[in-house]
Amino acid sequence: MATLGVREAERGHAWRIHLVGEATKTRTMVTAVLQGLGEPAMELVELLPQEPLRDGIVPDIVMVIFEGDETAPLAYLQTQAELSPCPIIFGLLQDRSSFLMRRVLHAGADELLFLPLDAGDFTRAFMKLNEGRRRAERVEGGLIFALASLAGGVGVTTLTANLALVMRRVFAKRAAVVDLDLQNGGLNLALHLDPEQTIASLIEFASRLDSLKLEAALTKHSSGIYLLAAPKRLDDAERVTDLIVGEVLDLMRQLFDFVLVDCGSHVDENTVTAWERCDELLYVVDQSLVSAHGARRFNELFGNLGLRLDQPRFVLSKVDPHNAITEEAIVQAMGTRCFAKLPRDDRMLEKMQLRVQDLWHAGPNTALARAVEDLARRINAGRAPVAGETAGFVARLLGAFGARA
């Protein structure tokens, strides 16, 4: 039995993988590929198709090898597919015939991979299937919208704050914002808040976070939305891990109708963790070719990550009809169309800063406010309606804590 990777203790246990096949040589080859991976941590057991489950333990992942006679591997795969809970099942095929592929899929395989096994193919398929399972099994709750851009200064932070505010002020929903732009930490400025606690307060609770600890780290805005701020110190920003981010977002989904996440302009494990959990990813560009080309690169990267979302939605911000770089030029440079457009209104933004007001106090009837409201409606169109305001915040926190305990 081989244990791979370094995060077994962090997860609680390594992923239990049963590798099933008749040929010892093929099993050894596949084992070598899996042992070459750093993540995820694994406990790997090699079995023959005729062998029963050891100690009655259902594995997390089953990889069934098909080469030569298909009878025993198909029977084993069907048996695994009927288990409850059912493991993630991979069919490893030597023959690429469409007939065999259909038989293996109909028998219950979640994904097909081909021999010799490629480590990248396995990793992408595993991430996609695991995320799908996690989403299907998660507790029902609110929606998570992530916002990002590889280009700075395009308005990601401002749009994150404004979308949360419109959810609360216009649609009367429970909303929160999470600042994952950990080194810049601009959301507290956009919301005119000076938080005492930040996400750094949760670092020590990575594997035992509960709603009471989360509540203590949140800062309430006058509108009723809540902010989980970025760390005040740069060295604390380096200590925030993807495990903390995942725990935070999973819990916040239970407490709020909408969670808006400012991912800034960085791509790292923390932001990818947010994208894995988000129901919508908005990528923000402005009327510059630099940001448009960055959007094209980001779209390619996002596709290679193998996440559940097919692609992000692109929002063109700070639109100026007099700009020589037209929307058509931006679309051509990005290689995809814009989902929404937001007008440029520098005077309103200055007014909001000088008067310490949000957009729905300073200019509720402006073109910018109407555009943000329209964007909020569009990204939520067709989704299941969320519950209205029925209980106090502390009551919901205690209820969520009890559910997790």
Q: pLDDT tens across 307-366, in order?
A: 777 789 999 999 999 999 999 999 999 998 999 999 999 999 888 888 888 898 888 899
Contact 61, 126 (CB under 8 A): yes
303-341: b (≥16 Cβ within 10 Å) or e: eeebbbbeebbbbbbbbeeeeeeeeeebbebbeeebbbe
Contact 283, 315 (CB under 8 A): yes
258-262 and 143-148: which strand pairing? parallel
CA angle 354, 359, 364 (to 5 degrees): 125
Rounded Cα–Cα distance for residues 264 and 38 (Å): 27
- CA distance readout (Å), 110 to 47, 61, 170: 20, 10, 42
pLDDT of residue 134: 59
Task: Supply the pLDDT for residue 306.
Answer: 76
Which amino acid does the sequence have at 146? Answer: A
Which three-class secondary structure state does DSSP give residue 91?
Answer: strand
Q: For the domain 2-137, what is the CATH code?
A: 3.40.50.2300
Give the span between the Cα atoms of 131 and 15, in whole angstroms. 14
- How many Å is the Cα radius of gyration of the chain? 24
Task: Work out the burial of residue 276: count CB atoms within 10 Å of its CB; fewer than 13 is exposed, 13-18 middle, 19 or more buried.
Answer: buried
**Tally of CB atoms within 10 A around 57:** 11
SS3 of residue 255 by DSSP: helix
Query: In CATH, which of 3.40.50.300, 3.20.20.60, 3.40.30.10, 3.40.50.1000 is domain 143-404?
Result: 3.40.50.300
What is the reported pLDDT for 252? 94
Q: What is the pLDDT of residue 42?
A: 85
From 351, 403, 340, select the one nearest 377 (Cα to Cα). 340
DSSP string, 146-183: EEE-SSTTSSHHHHHHHHHHHHHHTT---EEEEE--TT
- For residue 265, the number of C-alpha atoms closer than 13 Å in the C-beta half-sphere is 14
Domain ranges of the chain: 2-137, 143-404
Residue 6 has a pLDDT of 32
C-alpha to C-alpha distance for 156 and 282, rounded to whole angstroms: 9
Taking 50 as the pLDDT cut, the residues of the chain under it are 1-12, 138-139, 385-405
How confident is the model at residue 125, as a pLDDT? Answer: 84
Of the candidates 26, 1, 45, 42, which has an alpha carbon nearest to the alpha carbon of residue 117? 26
